[in-house]
């Protein structure tokens, strides 16, 4: 071969050729790698979950059990708090009604005068409803200020000979003296819901019954101490359950990476980027975490409420729970479970993305 035929030498010197003298295949640029969109990664992840349905169900069940345990603990706190409050409220209402009936006897056929100063508490409203349900001969209500859209009997028009006057409401002090309020009443009993209301309890021989005094304050203090102890125990249980969930998901995904060595190597040989491989595993873990969290929340909530329904009664359990507070807690638990599943997949996804294609293809796993 002559020197002029050598493509890597210049025709008139023995120096290596310049870049402009090289053949066209030597100066062509490499093609850029194509990054697949998120939609395609999502489709591949869903397909991978379907193909490995058995392992996916095992991982999902681990997430569901951990989240169910967490939601069961949260629901238990809501139920115990609601049931305790409902029982306390019913106990106070029963006590008020018992004192009322002890002083005047049966309510049916009596003339009842009620003086309401300020908004009614739930206990007072329930007592008033029980009085109405007992069908007294006459029930006159004086409201100060008058209820919106309701009628208020003037204080001077309260009937003489009424069996009892109830001092109800949250007003800080009595607008009138108890003597004036109970003038002409046959039974001069005042059932008061505020121990610190500025009234004269001994005025004109009026008997004032208090139901929310020092006894309630002591009870609330005991409940606060018990709630603090329960909170510490609940936090410890929640931390353990979340740790078990993370470890279970991470272990399952690591096993999934081991089983998919050849698949990962093939995708890398076909041009898949490391970021794309990581995205596949994170999407798969998010799908499993979301499904497992939803199942766990529903299972933990319903089973807990059914169990406590047998203990306390279904009407009390399902009626006393604050669903406005339980719904955000359930949503937060679902989000927490999904994020924990993604967090547990970070190491397996990073491990898979850093695999060398040739080594992955030579694997016999």
pLDDT one-digit tens code per residue, 27-64: 444 445 557 778 888 888 888 888 888 878 888 888 88
pLDDT one-digit tens code per residue, 267-301: 888 888 888 888 888 898 899 889 999 999 999 99
pLDDT one-digit tens code per residue, 263-276: 888 888 888 888 88
Q: For residue 290, what pLDDT is reported? A: 92
**Model pTM score:** 0.64
Provide the token pair at 58: 């095992």
Q: For residue 19, what pLDDT is reported? A: 43
Give me the residue spans of the domains in the chain: 38-86+217-362, 89-213
Nearest residue to 77 (alpha-carbon basis) of 238, 260, 191: 238
According to CATH, the superfamily of the domain at 89-213 is NAD(P)-binding Rossmann-like Domain (3.40.50.720)
Q: Bridge-partner residues for 113, per DSSP?
A: 140, 165
Q: What is the spatial distance between Cα 315 and Cα 303, in angstroms, rounded to a whole number?
A: 16
Q: What is the spatial distance between Cα 223 and Cα 227, in angstroms, rounded to a whole number?
A: 6
pLDDT one-digit tens code per residue, 242-253: 787 788 777 777
Q: For residue 47, what pLDDT is reported? A: 85
Counting every residue written for the chain, the total comes to 365
Number of neighbouring beta carbons within 10 Å of residue 78: 19
pLDDT tier, 335 (very low <50, low <70, confident <90, very high otherwise) = very high
Nearest residue to 79 (alpha-carbon basis) of 333, 336, 326, 329: 326
Q: Is the pLDDT confidence value at 363 over 80?
A: no
pLDDT one-digit tens code per residue, 96-133: 888 788 877 888 888 888 877 777 777 788 888 888 88
What does the DSSP assignment read for 204-246? GG-EEEESSSHHHHHHHHHHHHHHHHHHHHHHHHHHHHHHHHH
Q: What is the spatial distance between Cα 8 and Cα 21, in angstroms, rounded to a whole number?
A: 8
């Amino acid at each position: 071969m002559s020197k002029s035929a050598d493509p890597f030498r210049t025709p008139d010197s023995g120096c290596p050729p310049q870049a402009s003298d090289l053949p066209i295949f030597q100066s062509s640029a490499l093609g850029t790698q194509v990054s697949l969109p998120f939609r395609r990664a999502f489709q591949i992840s869903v397909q991978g979950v379907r193909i490995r349905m058995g392992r996916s169900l095992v991982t999902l069940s681990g997430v569901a059990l951990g989240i169910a345990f967490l939601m069961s603990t949260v629901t238990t706190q809501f139920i115990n708090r609601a049931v305790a409050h409902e029982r306390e409220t019913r106990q106070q209402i029963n006590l008020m009604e018992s004192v009322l009936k002890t002083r005047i006897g049966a309510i049916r056929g009596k003339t009842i005068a009620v003086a309401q100063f300020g908004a009614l508490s739930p206990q007072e409203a329930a007592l008033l409803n029980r009085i109405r349900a007992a069908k007294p001969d006459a029930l006159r209500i004086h409201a100060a200020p008058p209820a919106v859209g309701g009628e208020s009997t003037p204080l001077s028009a309260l009937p003489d000979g009424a069996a009892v006057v109830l001092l109800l409401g949250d007003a800080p002090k009595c607008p009138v003296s108890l003597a004036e309020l109970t003038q002409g009443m046959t039974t001069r009993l005042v059932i008061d819901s505020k121990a610190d209301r500025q009234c004269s309890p001994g005025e004109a021989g009026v008997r004032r019954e208090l139901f929310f005094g020092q006894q309630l304050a002591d009870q609330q203090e005991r409940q606060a101490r018990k709630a603090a102890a329960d909170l510490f125990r609940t936090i410890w249980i929640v931390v353990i359950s979340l740790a078990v969930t993370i470890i279970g998901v991470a272990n399952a995904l690591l096993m999934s990476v081991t089983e998919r060595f050849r698949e990962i190597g093939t995708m890398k040989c076909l041009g898949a980027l490391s970021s794309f491989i990581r995205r596949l595993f994170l999407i798969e873990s998010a799908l499993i975490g979301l499904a497992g969290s939803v199942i766990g929340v529903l299972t933990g909530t319903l089973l807990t409420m059914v169990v406590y329904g047998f203990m306390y009664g279904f009407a009390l359990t399902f009626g006393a729970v604050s669903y406005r507070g339980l719904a955000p807690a359930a949503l937060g638990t679902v989000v927490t479970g999904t994020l924990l599943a993604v967090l547990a997949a970070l190491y397996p996804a990073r491990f898979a993305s850093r695999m060398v294609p040739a080594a992955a293809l030579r694997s016999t796993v």
